[in-house]
Structures are given as structure tokens and as C-alpha cells.
Structure 1
Amino acid sequence: MATTPLRVYGGVTGSDRQAGRRAVFIEAGLELLGAPEGEPNLTVRGVCRQAGLANRYFYENFRDRDELATAVYDHVVDEIATTALDAVVAVEDPELKVRTGLATIVRLIAEDPRRGRLLFSPFLAGTPLAHRRTESTRLFTQLLGTQARQVYRVQVGVRLELLSSFLVGGLAQTLTSWLDGDLQASESEVVEWCSEIFLATSGFPQ
């Protein structure tokens, strides 16, 4: 069955309009999922109201609310991972790589706490995003392990996996406490102290 092409209105193609609406829904989903109290029971009606768009536009982009939640989560993870990796690759000094990567991650979360709440909030632990969190943790662990191999020549093995998992998990818990206000530290202090821990950890020499 042939697909009817999306028409051009005002110089904007149908596919561009659809992509624009998708971006609006993702932003609306982030606003709801990343709220301070969390929104584990995200609804199509609620996100359409937040986006200011009709239901039919929701379904041209997503099958259901779970697919939207996954798209929002993946968007945030990709944004953080890509930005941090680009920043690290642009730096030559090994110690500065660590500080730059951590500073980038902390800044992204500080400038938009919704990102951190989406990644770490306990309100979303029992939702379909729980599996996504496991996958994203594995992604960041692999990225850290790759940097350790390339920059510090750390040998591949269980020790490297343990170190990477320990540091990623510890950073996640630290940022969770910081966002919740339980950790009274400035952004620069979080970056500095976490950098010291990363650099002092066996296998990541200063």
C-alpha cells in the first residue's frame, strides 16, 4: 500500500513538521518524567496537554506512553554521553580528560535537573525505564572502560570492569544525593572531589 507523502506548508516539509512535533512531545515527556516528584504513571492525555498537541499527533510518533518514555530517556542519555565524550576527546592531557568529562556531566545535570531526576529518581524504578537504566549504566561503564584502556593502558579484564562499575555507580549515587539536596556541595566541589576519587582509584593514575 503506497504511503501518501506529507505535504509542504509554508516552506516546511511534512516530515520536518512531524519531527518538530516529536521533539515537542519529547520535551513534554521530560518535563513530566523529570518533575521533582516524578511521573511514573505518564499518560497520553497528560503529555498531549503538556505539549499542547492533539492525540493524533502523539500516535504519529509513538505507539504508546512507554515508547515515549523510552524515547525521552534515550534522548537524555545520548545527549549526556555524546556531549561528555566530545569534550573528553578534545582534550589531550589524561588528568584533564577526567576533570573535563566529569565537569561536563555535572554541568549538564546542574543546568537542567530534569535530566538527573530522569536518570536517578527512585520514583521511576518500577517503570519500563528500569531496564533502560540498567542499559545506560552499562553504556557509561563501557565508555569509561574504553577511556581507561586508551588513555591509561589499563588491561581488559574483571579488574577494569569492577573499577568502571564502581566509579559509575558511585558517581550516580553522588549526583542523586546532590540533586536531592542531601549533599551540601557546590558544583565545582562535586567536580573536584569526584575527579580526585577517579584519579586516585587504582588503575587510573594521576
Structure 2
Amino acid sequence: MGGMEPSSLRVYGGVDGDHRKAERRVRFLEAGLDLLGAPDADATLSVRGVCKRAGLAARYFYESFADREELTAAVYDQVIDDLATGALAAVTAAPHDAAAKVRAGLGTVIGVVGDDPRRGRLLFSTRAGAVLAERRQRSTLLFAGLLGGQAKDFYGLGDSADLDVLSQFAVGGLAQTLTAWLDGALRIDRDDLVEHCTRIFLAIGAPVRD
């Protein structure tokens, strides 16, 4: 042992220590999503509950997260990052047609939250712990900015107060619509929901692009 190189000490079972730490972090994020996205979830996590769900000791939790609030924020941010990245990729890949691009973006968003109800409940449930409330406000601004930016690029528009208002209105309205859909208050299948939302987005954007 005395002659072993420091780099060798970080390797166990053929897996580098940093890689194992990253794998444990992913397990904690997945456990956090399971708990935060459960139908009867509270707005806050417990470290003990997350560790039990992940099947890992508490000492591993603290190598990646300072506390439960930091994990909650990381889970939410990961879901938002995946959603935004997927939606932008779909819009970029769609034909150069307004309806096609709007449909692609909305279809991706609705598909993600529909396929994984945990994500939908995390993003759109009425639970409002301090961390989630702050993150939801920031994500609304993020998606409004993305929507406005896409509209500017597609139509060659400059900065516009009208566009800013419509972007905020569209994103807020979509969030409420998805909340009702995920809760079962809005009884409509996914494809029809995408089509309805596409028509609405195109209609409310008409005054800005005309």
C-alpha cells in the first residue's frame, strides 16, 4: 500500500472516484424527482427520505449537496434544462414554417410532462415551497425569453413591449393549461392539446408579426 500512487487510491472496482461521485449525484437527483414528483408529495424533501430512496448513506448526500434545498433546486433545474434543450432542438429541426415550429416546441414540452408525470407535477403542481416558488418564477421568465427570442429570429423582429407581454401571457397560459391537463380537470388527449395550443400561440402572436 505504501508504494501505491495517489491516482490508484481513487480507483475502486475499475471505476474512478470522481465518476462514482457523479453516479451517486445522479441517483440523488432521480430520488429527489421521485419524491418531489409523487402525487402526494410535500413541497420539501428530507435528507433521510432522499437517502433511503437513493439507497445511499447520508455522507454521500453531503458530498454533492449542502442541504435539501440545494437538492430541490438541482432537481428542478435539471428538469427545466432538459425541457428547454429538448424544445429548442425540436424547434430548430422543424421546417421553416411558423406552425411547424410552434407545434414542434409545444409537442416536446407536452410530451415530456405527459410521458413522465413526475416532471409535470414538479413543474406545474400547486405546491409552493420557497425553493420551488422561486424556481418556477425564474423558469417562467426563461421560457418567455426563449419564446420571444425565437419569434424575433423567425420574423426578423426587434425589441418590442408587445412581444414581451405576449410571451409572458403565452407561457403563463400554457402553464395553467398543463396544470389543468395533468390534474385531469382538462379532458383532452395529447395530440389535440398540442393542436389547440399551437393555434392559440399562433393567434396571439399575429398582432406582433403583422
TM-score band by shorter chain is over 0.9
Residue 115 (structure 1) aligned to one of 106, 113, 119: 119
Residue 155 of structure 1 and its aligned partner are, at CA, apart by 3.3
Residue 98 (structure 1) aligned to one of 98, 102, 112: 102
Deviations along 1:170-190, one digit per CA (max 9) or x if unpaired, are: 000000000000000000011
Deviations along 1:49-87, one digit per CA (max 9) or x if unpaired, are: 011100000000000000000000000000000011011
Kindly provide the amino acid, as one letter, of the partner of residue 97 in structure 1: K
Residue 17 of structure 1 and its aligned partner are, at CA, apart by 0.4
Measure, in 2, the Cα distance between the counterparts of 1:59 and 1:49.
Answer: 14
Kindly provide the amino acid, as one letter, of the partner of residue 109 in structure 1: V
Match of 1:143 in 2: 146
Match of 1:36 in 2: 39
Measure, in 1, the Cα distance between the counterparts of 2:209 and 2:31.
Answer: 43
RMSD (Å) for aligned C-alpha atoms: 1.8
Kindly provide the amino acid, as one letter, of the partner of residue 169 in structure 1: G
Is the Cα contact below 8 Å between 1:32 and 1:42 reproduced in 2?
Answer: yes
Measure, in 2, the Cα distance between the counterparts of 1:122 and 1:6.
Answer: 48
Is the Cα contact below 8 Å between 2:91 and 2:101 reproduced in 1?
Answer: yes
Measure, in 2, the Cα distance between the counterparts of 1:42 and 1:166.
Answer: 31
Gapped runs of 5+ residues in structure 2?
A: 1-5
Match of 2:56 in 1: 53
Match of 2:194 in 1: 191
Match of 2:157 in 1: 154
Q: How does 1:70-89 map to 2 (within 5 A)?
A: 70-89=73-92
Measure, in 1, the Cα distance between the counterparts of 2:16 and 2:101.
Answer: 42
Identify if the C-alpha distance between structure 1 residues 22 and 9 changes in structure 2 by more than 3 Å, giving closer, same or farther. Answer: same
Residue 17 (structure 1) aligned to one of 1, 20, 32: 20
Identify if the C-alpha distance between structure 1 residues 6 and 43 changes in structure 2 by more than 3 Å, giving closer, same or farther. Answer: farther
Gapped runs of 5+ residues in structure 1?
A: none
Is the Cα contact below 8 Å between 1:34 and 1:114 reproduced in 2?
Answer: yes
Measure, in 1, the Cα distance between the counterparts of 2:173 and 2:166.
Answer: 10
Instruction: Give aligned-pair identity as a percent.
Output: 56
Measure, in 2, the Cα distance between the counterparts of 1:154 and 1:163.
Answer: 14
Kindly provide the amino acid, as one letter, of the partner of residue 140 in structure 1: F
Residues 1:167 and 2:170 are matched in the alignment: yes
| TM-score for both structures, normalised by structure 2 | 0.92
Is the Cα contact below 8 Å between 2:24 and 2:60 reproduced in 1?
Answer: yes
Measure, in 2, the Cα distance between the counterparts of 1:115 and 1:126.
Answer: 16
SS of residue in 2 equivalent to 1:128: helix
Kindly provide the amino acid, as one letter, of the partner of residue 106 in structure 1: I
Question: Which consecutive segments of 4 or more residues in structure 1 shift more than 6 A?
Answer: 3-6
Measure, in 2, the Cα distance between the counterparts of 1:89 and 1:6.
Answer: 46
Measure, in 2, the Cα distance between the counterparts of 1:5 and 1:75.
Answer: 32
Deviations along 1:32-59, one digit per CA (max 9) or x if unpaired, are: 0011122223100000001110000000
Residue 158 of structure 1 and its aligned partner are, at CA, apart by 1.1
| TM-score for both structures, normalised by structure 1 | 0.93
